[in-house]
Amino acid sequence: AQSVSQHNHHVILSEAASLELGCNYSYGGTVNLFWYVQYPGQHLQLLLKYFSGDPLVKGIKGFEAEFIKSKFSFNLRKPSVQWSDTAEYFCAVNPPHYNQGGKLIFGQGTELSVKP
């Protein structure tokens, strides 16, 4: 079945460590890609998105993601994490058959815990 996969379910890092969260999707054609974040007790909010142009996308709070079309991947990165980055991170894809309406398919989520 076509899907969005986040391989890491729970990642634990120390402050200042580098972060990379994987996201792969299985849809062909033109896709739009998103990373959303849910901080403890807060609403889900957008971190960054890609729909065209430079495949390296910069988002809020120092996060970036790289779209690699040949690998069907959109991995999220941050060079140095902080305790305040502790949250659950969701990758989402707007696949070609969902282009109308802006509907999204979400990955399973990755819980990030940053130790101070």
Partner 1 sequence: DVKVTQSSRYLVKRTGEKVFLECVQDMDHENMFWYRQDPGLGLRLIYFSYDVKMKEKGDIPEGYSVSREKKERFSLILESASTNQTSMYLCASSISGRAVETQYFGPGTRLLVL
Which DSSP state fits 40? T
Distance CA 97, CA 104 (A): 11
- Residue in 65, 74, 75, 94 binding partner 1, rule: CB under 8 A: 94
| Phi then psi dihedrals of residue 70, to 5 deg | -65, -25
Distance CA 90, CA 88 (A): 7
What's the closest the beta carbon of residue 27 comes to partner 1, in angstroms? 12
- Residue in 82, 103, 113, 115 binding partner 1, rule: CB under 8 A: 103
- Closest to partner 1 by CB, 37 or 114: 37
Binding to partner 1 (CB under 8 A) within 13-42 occurs at 32, 36
- Residue in 29, 40, 53, 101 binding partner 1, rule: CB under 8 A: 101
First to last CA, the chain: 40
- Applying CB under 8 A, the span of 20-28, 65-73, 77-85, 87-95 interacting with partner 1 comes to 87-95
What's the closest the beta carbon of residue 81 comes to partner 1, in angstroms? 22
Distance CA 25, CA 93 (A): 8
Which DSSP state fits 96? G
- Residue in 14, 26, 45, 84 binding partner 1, rule: CB under 8 A: 45
Distance CA 27, CA 24 (A): 10
Site residues (vs partner 1, CB under 8 A): 4, 6, 9, 32, 36, 43-46, 49, 51, 90, 92, 94, 98-109
